[in-house]
Structures are given as C-alpha cells and as structure tokens.
Amino acid sequence: MFCKLFILNIRRFFKNNKMMIMILLFSQIVSVVVSFMAYGMIMNTKRESESAGYSERFLDANSYHDVYLPLEKIKPSLYKLLKSYGNKVRSVVIDGYDKEENTTIWMHFTYRNGNIIVDDEWKKTILDSQPNRIGHLYTDDEFYSGKKVLVTNGGYDNVKKCYINGTEYEVVGHFYEEGYIGNASDKVVEVPFFSADDEMQIDAIGIQLATLPTVSEYNEFATEMLSLFDNQVYVYMPEKFSNDVKYMYKTYFIIAAIILGMSVINIGIVYGYILRTRTKYNAILSLCGAKKIQIVIINLLEIISMCLVSYGVSLLLFNNVIIPYGKDVFIYFTDIFDKYLYEDFLTIYLMAVIICALYNILKVLNKQTITFIRGGGRK
C-alpha cells in the first residue's frame, strides 16, 4: 500500500507540476555544478600553493659539455628518485650519446607501482603523429625482454642493424618525421630502457610529474643530480608563477567560497518552496489515514529521486564539458576529480538535502490542522 501511494504521489507531482520541476531541476543542476567548481577551485588553489609556485612539471638535468656517466652509475640515483615520487611520475626520458658513431640515444618509459614500464601515452603520441615511418616502434615484449632492438630517426637509412657503444642492435623501425627525436639529418636512435647496455654514456635525465613539483621534490632531484654528476650538471629551475597569477588564484578562492555557500543555501530555499505548495495535499493524506512518518517518507523519497536525477545530469555536464575546457586554467582538475570524490560528493549532497528536507517537512506537518481542510483550504 505504501509503495503504491508513493508511486501515485510521484506520478501526480510530475504530471501537475512540470514547469516547477523543470525550474527545480535546473536550479539543482546549477547548484551541483557550481559546488563541483567551488571545490575544484579551492583544491586547485591549495595544490598550487603547495607546489611552491612552480608553473612546470618537468624536472630536468643536463650535464656540462663532454661530461658523461655510464648508465650503470645512473641507475641507483634514478631508482631512488622514482621510488620517492611513486605513481606521481608521468614520464621519464634519458639522453645518451655514442661518440664513436656520433649518435644521440634516447630512452622513454614511465614508472608505476614500483616498476619501470612502457610509456603507453608517449608511444601513442608518436604513432599517431608520425605517419611517415617504416617498420614499427618496439613492442612491449621487446621492451621488457631486453632484446637488442632500436628505432632510428635519420642517419641510419635502409639499414637493418647498427652498433651503439660497440653492441649490435636490430633496427625495427625508421621514423623520418621531424620532431620525433631530433631533425631528419641527425643520427638519433630510440632504445628500450632494458635493452641499453650498462656502459651506455648518459648526459641528461628528465622526469615529468603528473602534478607540479613541491619544493622538497625539486630539491631532492637537484641534490641527487648534483651529487651524481659531481656538480658538473645544470639542473633546470622551473619558472615560478607571477604575482598576477597568484592574485588570480586568491580571487578564485574567494569566489569559490561564496558560490559554495550560496549553493548550500539554495537547497534549503528550493525544498522549502516545494513543501509550502503541498500543505493541502499532505493534510488530505493525513485525513485518509496516512501516518505522519509515512507522509514524511513519501515527501523525502520524492525529493531524493529528484536529487539523484539532477546529480546525474550535473555529473555528466561537469565531467564532459567543464573539465575538458577548464583544465587549461585549473591545471589540477584532472587530478582532483575521480569516481571516489564523486561518490563522496553524492553522499554529502544527499545528507545536506535530507537534513534540509526533514526540517521543512516536519515544520510544515506540525503547522497543518484538520480545520485547514474543513475550511476549504482557508487558514
């Protein structure tokens, strides 16, 4: 009986109040979206301040002219840094050189869950942007097995094998498009990390993080590189945010706080309006034998159902429209928002709605009397 009454109540409400429902849904969608924006702006500002104002994510060290270290000596420092940064590492590039062959050597990879792995994002970028190629980019099996393979970019045309630091490598692909790893006239090769000999001479290391580096992260990288290369290295200092950018983020923070407060207030206003328009209907339910708790639950479930619809639409709008266009301004948006945060937001949103709704429902029900109905709706 209760379920039937609830379904009839929902159908009646949606049928007789279409315009009000549209207004309420629009209002709640706006509230949820601006709440997402407010939270995102606040957290983005917080992370920007924690990043020490650095505006770039790349940690880069280049040794001075003719200063090289064997890969074997590089590895302990590299592993130490990767372990420290963990899954915050987005990509790694190591630059080497073979003096005998006058060949630049590059290695690309990334780091996940304590392991060096193929950088799929980098591979996809190369494959999508380099249509003028012969052969293939090394496969995952070739990367992990340590097989002596490489990819060339100029300087090794029409060859199937070449020598790097005296070791024979099979050439599995030729990439000719300028911009891959040097100009077409350069002798440049891309070698899988596990295929490189320990004697390979290295002169540069770059680590790109998924988020902006903190002061401690930058200092750790700089200290390790200076010690490794015996101070014969230039460690790139990321550019800092200008004061104008810092003031802009402070303004965003203030605006976000105001918007978030208005969104919370909006919930109480909207659902208070719903209940004030239904005083007579609730009194009729009471006269027909409905218990007070049943009336409360019916109204509450109706409000929750509308909240779920508005939240779902808001989530789709924010995730597919706001984030793609806003991530260039708020650089941490893609890091801040994930499914777990959306679940937490839904829980908080429903709790706020339920508290506001219960307050208004009980307030209305406590004021209604039998004489309201007997008097034809007159107070």
Q: Is residue 379 part of a domain?
A: no
Q: Is residue 75 part of a domain?
A: yes
> What are the tens digits of pLDDT across the range 263-291?
667 666 766 666 666 666 666 667 677 67
The reply to whether 67 and 203 lie within a common domain is yes
The whole-number pLDDT of residue 302 equals: 77
The reply to whether 152 and 101 lie within a common domain is yes
320 is in which domain, residue-wise? 2-50+243-374
Is residue 118 within 8 A of residue 109, CB to CB? The reply is yes
> What are the tens digits of pLDDT across the range 201-252?
999 999 988 877 777 888 899 999 999 999 999 888 765 555 555 566 666 6
Query: What is the distance between the alpha carbons of residues 235 and 218, in angstroms, rounded to a whole number?
Result: 10
Positions of the chain with pLDDT under 50: 52-55, 178-184, 369-374, 377-379
The rounded Cα 293 to chain-centroid distance in angstroms is: 43
The whole-number pLDDT of residue 3 equals: 64
The reply to whether 216 and 83 lie within a common domain is yes
Q: Which of 212, 235, 258 is the last residue of a domain?
A: 235
The whole-number pLDDT of residue 370 equals: 44
CA dihedral 135, 137, 141, 145 (to 10 degrees): 100
The reply to whether 6 and 151 lie within a common domain is no
- In the block, residue with structure tokens 């499914």: 339
The reply to whether 133 and 76 lie within a common domain is yes
Q: What is the number of structural domains in the chain?
A: 2
The reply to whether 106 and 27 lie within a common domain is no
DSSP 318: I
Query: What is the distance between the alpha carbons of residues 24 and 271, in angstroms, rounded to a whole number?
Result: 9
The whole-number pLDDT of residue 181 equals: 46
**Partner residues linked to 235 by β-bridges:** 61
Nearest to 238 by CA among 254, 255, 222, 262: 222
Nearest to 275 by CA among 2, 26, 3, 13: 13
The whole-number pLDDT of residue 140 equals: 93
Is residue 118 within 8 A of residue 141, CB to CB? The reply is no
The whole-number pLDDT of residue 10 equals: 64
The whole-number pLDDT of residue 200 equals: 93
Burial 200-217 (b: 16+ CB within 10 A, else e): bbbbbbbbbbebbbbeeb
The reply to whether 42 and 169 lie within a common domain is no
Q: Which of 200, 235, 270 is the last residue of a domain?
A: 235
The reply to whether 108 and 132 lie within a common domain is yes
Q: Which of 177, 206, 235 is the last residue of a domain?
A: 235
Exposed (0-12), middle (13-18) or buried (19+): which is 99, by Cβ within 10 Å? Answer: exposed
The reply to whether 63 and 210 lie within a common domain is yes
- In the block, residue with structure tokens 């929902």: 10
The reply to whether 32 and 95 lie within a common domain is no
The reply to whether 135 and 28 lie within a common domain is no
Is residue 58 within 8 A of residue 222, CB to CB? The reply is no
> Could you tell me the pTM of the whole model?
0.53
The whole-number pLDDT of residue 56 equals: 62
The reply to whether 31 and 112 lie within a common domain is no
φ, ψ for residue 163, nearest 5 deg: -115, 130
The whole-number pLDDT of residue 71 equals: 95
